[in-house]
Amino acid sequence: MLFKWKSYVFIFFAIVFSLYLCGCYAPPTFKPVTSMRPPPRKVEPYIVSQLNRYYVRDWKYIVIHHSASSSGSAVEFDKYHREKRGWENGLGYHFVIGNGIGSGDGQIEIGGRWINQIDGAHAGVQEYNHHGIGICLVGNFNDSYPTAAQMASLSILVEYLQGRCRIPSENIIMHRHIRETECPGRNFPYYKLLAQTVRY
Ligand SMILES: [Zn+2]
């Protein structure tokens, strides 16, 4: 009887060992914990919380410009527009996006015309000054390209404005679409921007 019991134990371990040798036994694998984590939440950019503070009136277009200068900021352009152009409302654009020279790289500056929801002075065409949101990227995109940070900020801003003001993608335009000008420069990646925007 004792012999029989030992035989069964031997046969059992013989089977287990042979299965192990055959590769049928797989040691427990380490499961990465990343799959257990909840999906990351979309981080709301600081600029969005800033923009949500302001009332918006009816806007139909978003008009993209470059400053045609290597550096600049909202304060600098505001001074120029007041003193050299004689515009009492100053800065002709609603937004300025810096390139790191004169203002932060990708920094979105909100102009007084957006805060007060008044017409821009950027298009040179009444319809687009009245209904168009003017965004100026610092830089001369005939000679250089917008920085990655500028384009990332522009996408965030455009997407926000499209959603807030219900502006369709076909109304996101470059200055040269409405006037004889090179603005925003031949290197401006217009179609890349459109590809990143929401379809309304
Ligand atoms: Zn322009």
Domains parsed from the chain with CATH numbers: 2-36 (no CATH), 46-195 (3.40.80.10)
Q: Which pLDDT value is given to residue 46?
A: 86
Contact 109, 98 (CB under 8 A): yes
Q: Return the HEC string of 27-90.
A: CCCCCCHHHHCCCCCCCCCHHHHHHCCCCCCCCCEEEEEECCCCCCCHHHHHHHHHHCCCCCCC
Task: Tell how far the Cα of 135 is from the centroid of ligand 1, in angstroms.
Answer: 9
* Both tokens assigned to 16: 């287990």
Q: CA 146, CA 122: separation in Å to the nearest integer?
A: 19
Alpha carbon 27 to chain centroid distance?
46
Q: Which pLDDT value is given to residue 7?
A: 67
- State yes or no: cis peptide before 184, omega within 30 of 0: yes
Task: Tell how far the Cα of 44 is from the centroid of ligand 1, in angstroms.
Answer: 29
Give 135-176 as a DSSP string. Answer: EEESS-TTTS---HHHHHHHHHHHHHHHHHHT--GGGEEEGG
Task: Tell how far the Cα of 151 is from the centroid of ligand 1, in angstroms.
Answer: 17
Task: Tell how far the Cα of 118 is from the centroid of ligand 1, in angstroms.
Answer: 18
* Both tokens assigned to 71: 């550096």
Tokens 């600029």 belong to residue = 47
Alpha carbon 119 to chain centroid distance?
25
DSSP annotation of 122 reads: S
Q: Which pLDDT value is given to residue 28?
A: 47
The strand pairing partners of 109, in sequence order, are 96
Q: Which pLDDT value is given to residue 32?
A: 42
- Spell out the per-residue pLDDT of the chain, length 200, in tens: 555 656 666 555 555 445 454 444 444 444 444 444 444 445 567 889 999 999 999 999 999 999 999 999 999 999 999 999 999 999 999 999 999 999 999 999 999 999 999 999 999 999 999 999 999 999 999 999 999 999 999 999 999 999 999 999 999 999 999 999 999 999 999 999 999 877 66
Task: Tell how far the Cα of 48 is from the centroid of ligand 1, in angstroms.
Answer: 24
pTM across the whole model: 0.78
* Both tokens assigned to 65: 């410009």
DSSP 3-state of 97: strand
The strand pairing partners of 96, in sequence order, are 109, 136
Q: CA 95, CA 169: separation in Å to the nearest integer?
A: 19
Q: Which pLDDT value is given to residue 42?
A: 53
Task: Tell how far the Cα of 107 is from the centroid of ligand 1, in angstroms.
Answer: 19
Q: CA 8, CA 162: separation in Å to the nearest integer?
A: 76
